[in-house]
Chains A and B, each alone.
Chain A
């Protein structure tokens, strides 16, 4: 027993010493990275809900068709109908205003609106698997919305939060009942391949209902002169021509897909590593989450594309999410 006490005492002393003596890390640093360009028509960031089709052409890892994939269609429809109800939409639009003084997400003018009755959860429909992008989770939106829904109707929502690319492939593997993502081309392919379907009372499978803006951020002294650029496409051209460092998510996320569309076409930058090998001196493919990339951009004085909700959360928290 004595030995154990001694070990614990030594540990406590070490902790205390480290606590007092260590140099204070600039933990809540003032973030220098700032928004240099926003609200460009090319920078709209659309979020869509898609219910997973139980009759989708699922295939297993070897490419063989699988027909009896369990999908909680009732639960998925309930969550979608709530998110698109007056209550759910108002909550999403309001989110973050009190805290950040700015709306983090906006409702589309032509959004689908649901008035469908939402059934209470039953034993079979209780568990809803939502595969989604990190931006709606890390910005705190889902943490704010879902408890409102689960308390009222008794459902339980498992949130699998990852990049849009992985969120979609997770659903294609039959591991999600619905997805909430932000990459139009991927969503359209998902629908076209038969993985989504039109739920009752809706006009389309892809329910594009809210948006915010992608923002181009960078060091406040803006060496590439992005602030003066006429459009975001010109801004990206200026960064590439001046070879100013740029942090790419590089992880097939919605933000990464968007960024790939903004580079001058002749550079030929795609998701393939080979395509940006000639630009390795300034183009940094991080393969990391938004927060980790923002920290990199801050430390390397680099430019970065991010969604506004995540960026505002990042700045408000002093450089973390």
Chain B
């Protein structure tokens, strides 16, 4: 381990061009996919948790099933769909960061939705009573729910980001781990492991954890402020 830590520090200090490229691709991928998943998942989750409508139960079960979708299956599906012989071949998206983002959005949105549903379902009944007492309409009731859910929204975002930055199965299939283009931290770790370079893999892993720590620490501070 100590040699890996040393290697990680050396790598960061050396500002290796390839490492910087991998880091920026990782940042672009995980930030974009987690934000898109948040934008899709929050309204869906609030709808599922805060409103009662026909078919809600089925949607819930469906969403919970999608939460458990193995990343590699999602990756394989997108690989086949966007392959040179797949139905979406004309978009020419295979082995691009854009398709990696799309695959991750499909993986992560259900997780955001599921979390928001739980949070909204917890406070919706009390909120509804208050809102009815105040004579608020449907739209304003939803706005109130969003305001009350600021804290869980951040929690859901952190989850989404964590999943995006740590995920390897889908991005390896869809991105192909092409150097200077689609290689991200997790696929690079896989590559080094396959080459028997375990300590460099751990070094990259440490850098990844450090990144994750910084993002989480920053958002946790923001969350605390929202909480008080």
Contact = CB atoms under 8 A, between A and B. Distances in A.
A314 interface: yes
Interface string B195-223: 11111100000000010010001100100
Contacts, number: 114
A44 interface: no
Nearest to A131: B176
- Secondary structure type dominating chain B contacts: helix
A4 B221 contact: yes
Interface in B107-135: none
B1 A22 contact: yes
B221 A321 contact: no
Contacts of B138: none
A174 B197 CA distance: 32
Contacts of B196: 289-295, 314, 319-321
Contact of B2 (A25, A58, A289, A320): A25
Contacts of A18: 1-2, 5
A295 to B, nearest CB: 4
A257 B142 CA distance: 62
Contacts of A319: 196
Nearest to B206: A15
A66 B196 CA distance: 39
Given A1-B221, A158-B95, A61 B86 contact: yes
Nearest to B94: A175
B92 interface: yes
Interface residues on B, range: 35 or more
A68 B89 CA distance: 9
Interface in A267-296: 288-295
B39 interface: no
Interface string B76-99: 000110011111011010110000
Contacts of A27: 3, 199
Contacts of A294: 196
Interface of B: 1-6, 9, 79-80, 83-87, 89-90, 92, 94-95, 176-179, 181, 193-200, 210, 213, 217-218, 221
7 contacts: A8-B217, A11-B210, A20-B2, A60-B86, A158-B181, A288-B194, A321-B197
Given A22-B2, A288-B194, A290-B195, 13 more contacts: A1-B221, A21-B2, A22-B1, A58-B84, A60-B83, A61-B80, A158-B181, A160-B178, A161-B177, A174-B89, A289-B194, A292-B195, A295-B198
Which 9 residue pairs are nearest across A and B when measured between Cβ atoms? A174-B84, A289-B194, A291-B196, A291-B195, A22-B2, A321-B195, A320-B197, A295-B196, A173-B83
